[in-house]
Structure 1
Amino acid sequence: MTTTTDLRPPRTGHRAPRRAGLGALAVLLAGAAGLAYGLTDLPGSAADDPGRAAAGAPPSPAEASREGTATGLHPELERRFLAAQRAAAADDVPLTLTSGLRTAAEQQELVDEAVARYGVPEAYRWVLPPEHSAHVQGLAVDVGPTEGAYWLQQHGPDLGLCPTYTNEVWHFELLPEGAAACPEPRPDSSWAW
């Protein structure tokens, strides 16, 4: 049985060198490209090694107490993710948190790195500005490995976790309050620019 300790904390505090952020974005873009061609596992991808994407210190006590959870995620999102993780484990499918809560500064750094590397408008398909990012609010999770992301694509809506973007199979948000079904995923994150 999977335990709460399997829930990896989001990156906070110490940041890896700038090139590591660009590498992580490149891995995500390569993973998305691989998924478009029907690949299920890409060696060296963040989904293949969730520890790389989630490396860093646990949230500060202020961040954790702000949401009342160990991860800083919205308590209902954390509860639903843990339930999904247990259900996936029962199906012998690994499901891990690769990214959760981000600060506005971390999100802006991801935007800046994507723009520097890929230019506009391509970068906008993959990353939102801090004021529109559900990660900054503790309302989004990225999951891995690829097998787990596909499992959650299939079972997440029944567990109250919705796939948000068609180009990011790893990104999930809460089923909107009062909704009976997940909204149709957007093609990408360019809607907020």
Structure 2
Amino acid sequence: MMEKVCCMRLSTAGVVLGWIGVVASFIGTILLATILGNADVIAKSILGNMTDGAAKYDEIHMGLIVSCSVYLAIVVLNLLASGMLILGTMKERHLMLLPWLINSGVGLLFSIIYHFVLLILALTSAQIDRIVPVLIVTLIGLGLHIYIYCGIYSLFKQIQLTREQQQPLINQSQGAEVPNQGNSYPSYTKI
């Protein structure tokens, strides 16, 4: 288990990464909503800049709408997961970190698949001098993503362990205050 992420305690790193995710997702939501609102103008502009007449306006417009809608859904899910990461870290609730871990894990899986395909293209292509620099830069990003994921997973395990250690203490002290009343429901009498 890690003790620190980017020279920060795990709880601080969880809050900082959560806020970075919230701000980035909020900006992405605004940008994608603006693109969807102006999809007609953007599609006409793309069609006007194309030299060959291979694509039609409807195809460009539909592709723009579908891709932006899918990406908007992903960005909104990331916004919610980052918000849950902040709340889970601050309230020390390990289950609230799960949406971020699942969301980031799926993104990490797609990133690994992307890098594997890019590596295969680099090995089979004659344009290896163009693909290798992109591959190096994206592999650095993948390494950072894995490092951050391991840090938040360590935070998840740390909070889970702390809560499991505190739970028996809470259960034992409840019955000690009132000797005749344990963990049962109170009894009421009708008047």
TM-score by length of 1: 0.28
* Structure with a larger share of its residues in helix: 2
* Structure with a larger share of its residues in strand: 1
TM-score by length of 2: 0.29
Q: Comparing both chains, which one has the higher relative contact order based on Cα–Cα distances under 8 Å and sequence gaps of 6 or more?
A: 2
